[in-house]
Structure 1
Amino acid sequence: MTDTIINPAQHPEVTQQLSENIILTTLDDLYNWAKMSSLYPMMFGTACCFMEFMAAYASRFDMERYGMIPRATPRQADLLITAGTITMKYAPNLVRLYEQMPEPKYVIAMGACTITGGMFSVDSPSAVRGVDKLIPVDVYIPGCPPRPEAVLDAIIKLRKKIANESIQERERTKQTHRYYSIPHKMKVVPPVNDGQYLRSATRSCPVQEILEATGLPLPLKLSKESKV
């Protein structure tokens, strides 16, 4: 009986059996471990970059080994993966899907068109120059298109970011004041392509001497305009 009585003034002795069956951790580590091991992504693909996810989810790379199960609704997803060009017409739908996702939520931007607008950002007045102007982005995947290895590397980096998060500091680091929101209208940007280059001398109808030298046929409509 005396062996089971513990002096409250002394530190309890931890036996070897007790130390091997109890793991000491923090609430942040436990929460982050469960979160990083069960990411439910929702795909938002609009162009060819999204085809690389077929290879990433195939048996060779097996993205599901990280606990990622694709979902078809934003209310069941906590990871939004965007790939392809985002236009002004798509922007409200993308923001609406992001706002319907439960907290905490994460975003991966895949491909040059999603990150910077890509080749469509040169003279397209409707392409968004980067999806981070609409929603906060956690991980960027550069490339045109990125390889499946790059997609897996982005997932690993996102898991490391989730593992270092804290529940108390999550609200402090939340991104606000985005470029676009549903209650407001998007800022009107003057068009870059004004069509003046179509009226330049280099694009006008070729002279008759060039046509005779090259022997290229001229469309009937242009030949009539050149005679007039």
Structure 2
Amino acid sequence: LVYTGGCNGCDIEIVNSILSPRFDAEQYKVFLTWNPREADVLVVTGPVTSLNRKPLEAIYEAIPDPKLVVAAGSCALMGGVYKNIHGDIPSEEIEGPVENIIPVAAKVPGCAVRPQDVLAGVVSLLPTLLDAD
């Protein structure tokens, strides 16, 4: 899970979907790891900015192949819900949605995303990962 900016609403919902017994992500072999070298799927929330672009690219490159990305939330999908309005992140610092920087395999819309939608997005990538082995 990489947070690149925004309100943290999506991050809270993603952690809820992975760690909550209500959704039981472990039944699908979905676990949260803080080490990119142990990951198969990268979930990104928030817009990509000039400050976080290089760290995001470095994390993506550290994940072993095959690696897949889920862009979660309106900010990750569109570059920020307030992209053209002066806010916490000036518009000129926003480089755009995640798919402009790294390849995105699944998109989960929402502001904030629903936990079950995030889990469905990640689980939808499992056949691709299993076929690659």
> Structure 1-normalised TM-score?
0.51
- Does residue 138 of the first structure (1) align with residue 100 of the second (2)? no
- Does residue 55 of the first structure (1) align with residue 22 of the second (2)? no
In structure 2, the residue matched to 1:115 is: 77
Counterpart of 1:118 in 2: which secondary structure? coil
C-alpha change, 1:121 and 1:138, in structure 2 (3 Å) is: same
In structure 1, the residue matched to 2:27 is: 65
Aligned counterparts of 2:48 and 2:78: Cα–Cα separation in 1: 10
> What amino acid sits opposite 1:70 in the alignment?
L
Q: Identify the structure with bigger relative contact order (alpha carbons < 8 Å, sequence gap 6+).
A: 2
In structure 2, the residue matched to 1:33 is: none
Aligned length: 124
> What amino acid sits opposite 2:114 in the alignment?
R
* Contact kept in structure 1, 2:69 and 2:106, CA below 8 Å: yes
Query: What is the root-mean-square deviation in Å for CA atoms of aligned residues?
Result: 1.7
In structure 1, the residue matched to 2:54 is: 92
Counterpart of 1:96 in 2: which secondary structure? helix
> Structure 2-normalised TM-score?
0.83
Counterpart of 1:104 in 2: which secondary structure? coil
Any unmatched runs of 5+ in structure 2? 86-90
Percent identical across equivalent pairs?
31
The structure where strand makes up a greater share of residues is 2
* Contact kept in structure 1, 2:41 and 2:122, CA below 8 Å: no
- Does residue 44 of the first structure (1) align with residue 2 of the second (2)? yes
- Does residue 149 of the first structure (1) align with residue 116 of the second (2)? yes
Q: Report the Cα offset of residue 166 of structure 1.
A: 5.8
Aligned counterparts of 2:95 and 2:12: Cα–Cα separation in 1: 21
In structure 1, the residue matched to 2:88 is: none
Counterpart of 1:71 in 2: which secondary structure? coil
> What amino acid sits opposite 1:51 in the alignment?
I
C-alpha change, 1:88 and 1:120, in structure 2 (3 Å) is: farther
Any unmatched runs of 5+ in structure 1? 1-42, 168-228
Counterpart of 2:110 in 1: which secondary structure? coil
